[in-house]
Amino acid sequence: MSKCAIVTGASRGLGLALTRRLSSEGWTVIVDSLDRRELENATFRLPGVHAIPGDVSDPYHQQILIEAARTTGRLDLLVNNASALGPTPLPALADANLRSVVRTFEVNVFAPLGLIQLALPLLAESEGAIVNVTSDAAVESYPGWGVYGASKAALEQASRVLAAERPDIPVYWVDPGDMRTRMHEEAVGGSDISHLPPPEDSVPGIMELITRRPPSGRYRVQRLENVA
């Protein structure tokens, strides 16, 4: 029986790069994204990949993802990669629209927590692991990044507590580093980011975590190191 992973936000960027790698190694991968066409176009040729478009913050959609994993008989990996940047151009916190703040937290904090709660029994049975994708904005005070950074800081603290509560399940909150992605381009207002590495450069570090299973913690994965 092949290993099974759920990877959210897999239509592009790091989520797609990781999905391609898992697929190439024989995993069954259940993926989602808000954009049905983009998700299906990105993944339809990948063996073992099952695309389930939807809003990751929707509890019903979360149940569908977990049930899809349940039909495979196991869940070895949950990757909470889907992220909302928040309002753009990036505002100062004093000017941030609070509805946008709530939406950012729904996607970046509440959705991962909801999926984790549903996935824990399957992960425990399969001796699986959790990867929560975070950012250096969670620990650094970059002007304009307050909404996104605060949401990722909340995700990191939730990860720390979960790791303390469930020592039987490895929990990794990973900083993939600056990457050449659409989200990063949107964040910097269309400035040239061609000098940044592609998201594929962050995949080997994640795969090493999954394979080697070091202690739970915060890891930078472009050059794998524990920075907890």
pLDDT of residue 160: 98
Per-block mean pLDDT, blocks of 10 residues, the chain (228 long): 95 96 98 96 97 98 98 98 91 94 97 98 98 96 93 98 98 85 64 77 96 96 76
pLDDT at 1: 78
CATH number, domain 4-226: 3.40.50.720
* Catalytic residue check, 172: no
Which candidate, 182, 183, 185, 180, places its Cα nearest to that of 198?
180
Q: Which of 19, 26, 112, 16 is nearest to 72 (CA)?
A: 26
pTM: 0.95
Q: What is the pLDDT of residue 126?
A: 97
The predicted pLDDT at position 183 comes to 67
- pLDDT, position 89: 87
Rounded distance, CA 179 to CA 181, Å? 6
For residues 151 and 102, give the distance between their C-alpha atoms in angstroms, rounded to a whole number.
Answer: 9
CA 15 to chain centre: 7
Annotated domain spans of the chain: 4-226
Catalytic residue among 60, 142, 148, 219: 148
Residue 228: its pLDDT value, please? 61
